[in-house]
Amino acid sequence: MQAINLSIILPVRNVEQEISGILRSVVRQTNGIEAEFILVDMGSEDGTPLECVQLIKNEKLHGFVIQNGDSDVAAALNTGIQKASGTYVSFIFARRLYMDFLKGYLETAERTDADFVFGSFSEEDVRLAERRSLSKAVQQQSGVQYMKEVIRGNLQIDLSAVLLKRSFLRECGLHFTEGCRYGYAQEFLYRCLLNAQNIVQSPTLLKRDTVFELKRGKEKPVGKEIFQAVEAIQRVELLLQTSFKQETELQALFSQELLPRTVMNSVDVMLREGSGYNAVRGVLRVLGYDSLLKTGRRTEKNLKRRIRVWNLIPWMYQAK
């Protein structure tokens, strides 16, 4: 048997009716690639596991189904990484599918021996990535530089469209924080960026597959669990403070932009779900997150305005 180039990890739950279209959407991208499909079931209450097994058999795919119990997405992804045998791994999510990116990513990864590959969301990004790939004079950016661009909103990296070298993940001990339903993806990506030696943007233009994406709404209100996203960012900030002390600009971006923005975005979620202003302010006080609403010269103007209104006249604040 040939070596596996790519392990595709897909967490699933209660998608018996939709999994056929989702999986076939991904399979079309792997023609000519030695790929394995790892479908991790998170405690489905319908026939999803059996349907997944049948699809793998009918499509003659190299792959298998893992029943991971009533687990969260982070735990399912960790299980997939542990069971993967491909040189590279990629994560596919039913609610956020991208078309025709895997071949382009794999070509970029194999040509550059990259630890971390991400894609392009605009034609301008494509041209920049092409210039970097063709010119030895254009130096690849470090993970710290990429993180700064992501925080400033100048760059987008989506967990649903990345390619990671499996040996890199294992050697660095990188995994998702289990029990964290919100913020686990951002935390994982930041940790990968901080640890990767060779990060490459592929000149592959990313487009969503709106035909096969799962379109169901959320099953229940999120509530104060949304503040797990703040905890996730704080864990990365602690890593910066202990192991990247010299990166003072990045630390300032965390404290003055990323953390207060994450707090305010979480506030918006609770308000949109119907929580009252006083109830949300009470949650912030109990968690200590009201102290994170600090601004500085690296804070974006609109975020400063949101924080000022929320702190002074919360009844006038309009959730985004």
| Structural domains present in the chain | 6-205 (3.90.550.10), 223-316 (no CATH)
Phi, psi angles (nearest 5°) of residue 112: -105, -5
Q: What are the tokens at 229? A: 């996203």
Q: Which helix (H) or strand (E) holds 31?
A: none
43: left (phi over 0), alpha (psi -120 to 50) or beta: left
Please give the Cα distance from 262 to 249 (Å, whole number).
18
The reported pTM is 0.95
Rg (CA), the chain: 21
Q: What residues are paired with 36 via a beta bridge?
A: 7
Compute the Cα dihedral for 303, 223, 71, 51 and give only its sign.
negative
Q: In this structure, are residues 164 and 89 in contact, taking their beta carbons and an 8 Å threshold?
A: yes
- Helix ranges (H only) for the chain are 19-27, 48-58, 73-83, 102-112, 123-134, 143-151, 166-171, 184-195, 228-243, 248-253, 259-272, 277-287, 301-312
Please give the Cα distance from 254 to 299 (Å, whole number).
10
Give the DSSP letter of residue 273: T
Phi, psi angles (nearest 5°) of residue 17: -80, -30
Give the other-Cβ count within 10 Å of 170's Cβ. Answer: 13
Q: What are the tokens at 184? A: 């686990």
Q: In this structure, are residues 38 and 66 in contact, taking their beta carbons and an 8 Å threshold?
A: yes
Q: Which helix (H) or strand (E) holds 40?
A: strand 35-41
The angle at the Cα of 57, spanning 19 to 83, to the nearest 5 degrees, equals: 75
Sheet strands side by side (includes 199-205): 63-67, 35-41, 6-12, 88-91, 162-165, 116-120, 199-205
pLDDT (tens digit, 0 to 9) for every residue of the chain, 320 residues total?
Answer: 578 999 999 999 999 999 999 999 999 999 999 999 999 999 999 999 999 999 999 999 999 999 999 999 999 999 999 999 999 999 999 999 999 999 999 999 999 999 999 999 999 999 988 887 776 544 578 999 999 999 999 999 999 999 999 999 999 999 999 999 999 999 999 999 999 999 999 999 999 999 999 987 766 889 999 999 999 999 999 999 999 999 999 999 999 999 999 999 999 999 999 999 999 999 999 999 999 999 999 999 999 999 999 999 999 999 98
Exposed, middle or buried, 316 (CB in 10 Å: 0-12/13-18/19+)?
exposed
